[in-house]
Structure 1
Amino acid sequence: MNDIDAQRLMIKVARLYHTHEMRQTDIAKRLQISQSRVSRLLAQAEDASIVRTVVAVPPHIHAELEERVEALYGLSEVHIIDAVSDNEQELGKDLAHTMASLLQDVAFEVSTIALTSWSKTMRMMIDTMLPMRTRCKHVVETLGDLGPPSLQHATARSTQQFAALTGAQPVFLRTPGVAASPEMKELLLSGDPHAREALQMLDSVDLALVGIGADEIDPDLRPGDNFFSDEQFARVRALGAVGEVCLHFLDADGNPIDSELEDLVVGITREQLRNARHRWAVAGGARKHRAIRAAAAGGWVDTLVTDAATARFLVDTASADRKAAADLKPAQSTPRRRTAASKA
């Protein structure tokens, strides 16, 4: 059997098992092969990403904690997972699987999705996704190219893959995500009608899949490589930044930081992000605790997928802030009793 015939058999077995819900013994009889071979072919189909398995976490495992975070931060939905490891890569995979499961069952009408494809967790999510039941028209990248060419290629491939899963047309933003100067940004956009069109499409976003970053350079990125430098990060931290949402820096309360860096970003604006009908974020881990809190407190996201430790951090800090605010309130003064001398 040549390679093409072997691949066809693998796909046929995968379809009979996953799509037609046939038992392995029945598949073996139908195709006149051994059951052990059916098992091997199913495993090979997963290894080749022909079959993507999504672990659907039952809702409300952390119901009380989810409701607490929603109430404290005014979020529409919070979905919390138990991390199997403190390792950031493994945590990202768990979060990505959960987000993929939620996206598959989007219940509202979606025409345009804004995708932060440079986010590693988003790319892992796309690799595990099944086709969305709700079809959309356009998937637009939220940011231009960031980092080295290998990362740019990976993000473009993820955008293309996600668009296929949603039945949409991919809209790429093929321009540096961070310009060297405001003048260079203007020059880049003036000569690129495709980039201008992509940015205009971000005016009407039904679902923004938001990236949340810490107040430091992401491990996948290099300083100054279509990105900010260490010195620029230091300056914005001095202004109070604790993290960023789609490269818009925020202080601890979620207020946007006005700095020269804002004029260098080529991507979704703060106003466009605010105007998106739905804003979903997936993020977790200790390194991003303060950034996630800022994004939630500032109303930059309305649905959050995170881990239990991060959720407890969100609750603890919000409770501590409320207590501190209560302690700062002046004690209500009681009227003094008038003495006989004062009455005279």
Structure 2
Amino acid sequence: MEDKKPIHRPDLLATLVEVAHLYYEENLSQQEIADRLNVSRSLIALYLKKAREQGIVQITIRDPQNVFQNLALQLQERYHLRYAEVVSSAHLSNVLTRRALGNAVAQYLDRVLQDGDILGLDWGRTIMEVVNLLAPSRPRQIEIVPLLGESSSTGSYTQLNQIVLQAARAFNATPYFLLVPLLVGSKALRDALMADITTQEVISRWNRLTYACVGIGPIPLIEGQVVYIGQENLSELIRQKAVGNVCAHYFDQDGHVLSQEFKDRLIGISVEQLKGTKNVIAAAGGVEKGRAVAAALRTGLITHLFVDEALARLLLDKS
């Protein structure tokens, strides 16, 4: 039987600590440590074994998947979500973080979408990654619609009809396109465009969505973010202390949706229609979105959340 009795000799304990430090923290090999201390390699192996037996070295096996699952469950409970998923944070690459989020949402959609469902899509870099990474296990008889009119930006992730078309091709689904701008010059023009038969094909489906996939935009803007509502409107929202938006609906840090002068000129899904959607999936990455995501969760619009580990921890630190 092995002798695992406590060691009381201070000199031996000091040696065990030194050997453990060299091996585990300085990453020296057992032979390198033996050469440095002028002893045999087998003795170093014995010292490392005793260091573990004495509790000087405590090895913890960390399963990232279990850690992420625990964070997700905490998010569900804290923010009253029906589903949450946490992915790894790529600390040196926002692109890789968005890709991880996109892949997680794409796989989730493949699991849950059923024939007859109607999927609504927002635009943005993370949603673009979702669509790029769709690899459905089978075709679906579903309909896919945009949630907003087209942006005037030239970025590929802002071309919502193209995003809808790509997603529809992945699922062999039926796409519907909104061939109107996001923001028009007057309420009268907006009302006329909303009444058009081709527009009605899309907006009538906003009342029957089974899933909506949205991004969360922060204020102040982060690098690469598009001011699609115009700088003058953004400045007014900043004066109202807006911290973020979902589908062009801006809210403050308490989750109160703010009044917007341009609301009557906006072509997009309404707050009421979003609230009436059973499954609203939001995906966001990066701690710089922490305040916006926390506030978005307080609006009550979000039912499913996909975030990276760093953002999840920040959200759980918030009251």
Asked whether the two chains share a fold, i.e. TM above 0.5, the reply is yes
How many residues are treated as equivalent by the alignment? Answer: 257
CA 222–158 in structure 1, closer or farther in 2 if over 3 Å, else same: closer
CA 172–214 in structure 1, closer or farther in 2 if over 3 Å, else same: same
CA 70–109 in structure 1, closer or farther in 2 if over 3 Å, else same: farther
Indicate the residue corresponding to 1:29 in structure 2: none
Contact persistence 1:143–1:267 (CA under 8 A): yes
The 5 Å alignment of 1:1-344 reads 60-106=66-112, 111-116=117-122, 118-131=123-136, 133=138, 135-149=140-154, 151=156, 154-190=159-195, 192-216=196-220, 223=227, 227-318=228-319
Indicate the residue corresponding to 1:329 in structure 2: none
SS of 1:299's partner is coil
TM-score (norm 2): 0.73
Q: Deviations over 1:61-106 (max 9, x none)?
A: 4222222111111011111112122432222112111111222211
Indicate the residue corresponding to 1:8 in structure 2: none
Contact persistence 1:106–1:133 (CA under 8 A): no
Structure 2 CA distance for aligned equivalents of residues 315 and 58 of structure 1 = 17
Gaps of 5+ in 2: 1-62
Q: Structure 1 residues 59-68 or 146-155, which shifts more?
A: 146-155
Amino acid at match of 1:194: T
Amino acid at match of 2:107: S
Structure 1 CA distance for aligned equivalents of residues 222 and 186 of structure 2 = 21
Amino acid at match of 1:206: T
Structure 2 CA distance for aligned equivalents of residues 221 and 146 of structure 1 = 13
Structure 2 CA distance for aligned equivalents of residues 109 and 70 of structure 1 = 27
RMSD: 2.4
Task: Give % identity.
Answer: 26
1:167 Cα deviation after fit: 3.1
1:264 Cα deviation after fit: 2.6
TM-score (norm 1): 0.68
Contact persistence 1:212–1:291 (CA under 8 A): yes
1:154 Cα deviation after fit: 4.5
Contact persistence 1:112–1:204 (CA under 8 A): yes
Q: Structure 1 residues 254-263 or 147-156, which shifts more?
A: 147-156
Indicate the residue corresponding to 2:21 in structure 1: none
**Higher Cα Rg: structure 1 or 2?**
2
Contact persistence 1:105–1:133 (CA under 8 A): no
Structure 2 CA distance for aligned equivalents of residues 237 and 205 of structure 1 = 31
SS of 1:188's partner is helix
Indicate the residue corresponding to 1:21 in structure 2: none
Contact persistence 2:149–2:268 (CA under 8 A): yes
Contact persistence 2:88–2:97 (CA under 8 A): no
Q: Deviations over 1:105-141 (max 9, x none)?
A: 116665211111x211111111111125472421010
Indicate the residue corresponding to 1:35 in structure 2: none
Amino acid at match of 2:284: A
SS of 2:208's partner is coil
SS of 1:294's partner is helix
Structure 2 CA distance for aligned equivalents of residues 244 and 99 of structure 1 = 20
Structure 2 CA distance for aligned equivalents of residues 86 and 242 of structure 1 = 25
Gaps of 5+ in 1: 1-56, 319-344
CA 178–154 in structure 1, closer or farther in 2 if over 3 Å, else same: closer
Contact persistence 1:83–1:91 (CA under 8 A): yes
